[in-house]
Structure 1
Amino acid sequence: MIVVKNVHKSFGEEEILKGISTTFLQGKTNLIIGQSGAGKTVFLKCLLGLFLPSKGSISYDGENYATLGNNGRRKLRQQMGMVFQGSALFDSMTVEENVMFPLRMFTKQTREEMLKRVNEVLERVNLQGANAKFPSEISGGMQKRVAIARAIVNKPKYLFCDEPNSGLDPKTAILIDNLIQEITRENNITTIINSHDMNSVLEIGEQIVYLKDGLLEWEGNKDIIYKTDNENIINFVYSSELFKKVRKAQLQGL
């Protein structure tokens, strides 16, 4: 669980985050949504420890990041997995080498132990046998699954995903959403997803934080979001005619 209390973040005189307080739940898919410029990326970087808040605190299962020493911060970062937008795989490395990279960086396991773990996570994301392929030899959806395998190979307590469906077709995007949700539940991870994908919001949004102009405008989940009377989130989530019809059908079903 990650607890955020009154987080502000400024760069010079420009205040990007203006006092955000929320809780990201363990074992749930937590989504951060909002329009471009809302502060989502800065907020995610604060959660990752890349930016320190100008004011406020972020605690990871009771540990305040700002008060940890260098060793404590290093240990905490090792408990974080990251799925980058566009996958961010190393082109010169095979699938196996990409997934093994965090193990080589942060553990003292033997090659046999690392390979066993790599094969476990590749099997979990349905990529068994793809070890020797290079990123250029596999599809975008497969690359995303490699990125997920790499993010979970060190058995993280916290999983961060930045636009995991970026560049994927709708069917593949749903498969990636479901995979992330399954892995979250299986391993009881605190998963935070920065997303523009409204399908993700309505499909796996077990906890949703909506930012607007650096403020927390609304929070809830996919089961109640269609009931809100907040015009900003209605216009954001239900901007297309299809989603407007979905919301109307949901409301009529009450």
Structure 2
Amino acid sequence: MIEIKNLHKGFGEEKILKGVDLLFETGKTNLVIGQSGSGKSVLMKCMLGLFTPEQGTIEYDGTAYVDFSDEQKRELRQEIGMLFQGGALFDSMTVEENVMFPLRMFTKKRRKDLIKRVHEVLERVNLEDAALKYPAEISGGMQKRVAIARAIVNKPKYLFCDEPNSGLDPHTATIIDNLIHELTVEYDITTVVITHDMNSLLEIGETIAFLKDGKVAWKGDKSQIFKTDDQTVTDFVYSSDLFKKVREAQNQGL
């Protein structure tokens, strides 16, 4: 569980986060949505320790990050899996080497044990036959699954996903959404997903936070978001073609 309390973050005179309060639950896919500039990326970077907030706290399972010792911060980094927007795979490394990278960085296990763990997660994401291929030799969807395998190879307690469906077709995006959700439940991970993808909201939006101008404008789940009378939220959500079709179907009683 990750709890955000009264978080403030700015750069010079520009205030980005203005008192954010959020709870990201363990074993659930927690989505953060909002327009560009609403503070989503800054919020994630604060949670990752890349930015230091001016005010407020970020608690990991009840302990404030600001109170962590240097050793505890190192341990936390080992417990975090990160799925980057573009996948961020190393072109010069094979799939196997890409997935092994966090293990080599954070563990001192024998190579035989590293290989075993790598192939366990590759099998889990249905890529065991692609281990010796390079990223350029596989599809975009497969590359994203490699990135997911790399993110979970250290058995993280927390998984951060930054626009995981960026650049993917709708069918592949749904596969990635479902995989993220399955792994969240399977490993009992606290998963935070930053996304603009409304299909992701429909597929895996177990908890949803809508940010606007650095504040939490709405919180709920994928069923409640259809019932809200908050005009700011509905304007954002129904700006997508997918949700326009959903609204039309609702209005027609389908």
Q: Which band: TM-score by shorter chain?
A: over 0.9
Query: CA offset at residue 53 of structure 1?
Result: 1.2
Between the two proteins, what is the percent identity of the paired residues? 67
Quote the residue 1:59 is aligned against. Answer: 59
Quote the residue 2:136 is aligned against. Answer: 136
Gaps of at least 5 residues in structure 2 are none
Q: Aligned partner of 1:54: which letter?
A: E
Please, what TM-score do these two structures have when normalized by structure 2?
Answer: 0.97
Q: Map 1:66-145 onto structure 2 (within 5 A).
A: 66-145=66-145
Quote the residue 2:231 is aligned against. Answer: 231
Query: CA offset at residue 79 of structure 1?
Result: 0.3
Provide the aligned C-alpha RMSD in A.
1.3
Query: CA offset at residue 104 of structure 1?
Result: 0.2
Query: CA offset at residue 11 of structure 1?
Result: 1.0
Q: Map 1:150-189 onto structure 2 (within 5 A).
A: 150-189=150-189
Query: CA offset at residue 244 of structure 1?
Result: 2.5
Gaps of at least 5 residues in structure 1 are none
Cα deviation, 1:29-63, whole Å, max 9, x if unaligned, reads 00010000101110010111111211000000011
Whether the aligned pair in 2 keeps the contact of 1:80 and 1:158 (CA below 8 Å) is yes
Query: CA offset at residue 250 of structure 1?
Result: 4.2
Which piece of structure 1 moves more, 175-184 or 239-248? Answer: 239-248
Quote the residue 2:38 is aligned against. Answer: 38
Whether the aligned pair in 2 keeps the contact of 1:226 and 1:250 (CA below 8 Å) is no
Q: CA separation in 1, counterparts of 2:252 and 2:218?
A: 23
Quote the residue 1:23 is aligned against. Answer: 23
Quote the residue 2:215 is aligned against. Answer: 215
Q: SS at 1:129's partner residue? A: helix
Please, what TM-score do these two structures have when normalized by structure 1?
Answer: 0.97
Query: CA offset at residue 249 of structure 1?
Result: 3.6
Whether the aligned pair in 1 keeps the contact of 2:8 and 2:54 (CA below 8 Å) is yes
Q: Aligned partner of 1:212: which letter?
A: K
Q: Aligned partner of 1:94: which letter?
A: T
Cα deviation, 1:73-112, whole Å, max 9, x if unaligned, reads 1111110000001100000000000000000000011001
Matched residue count: 254
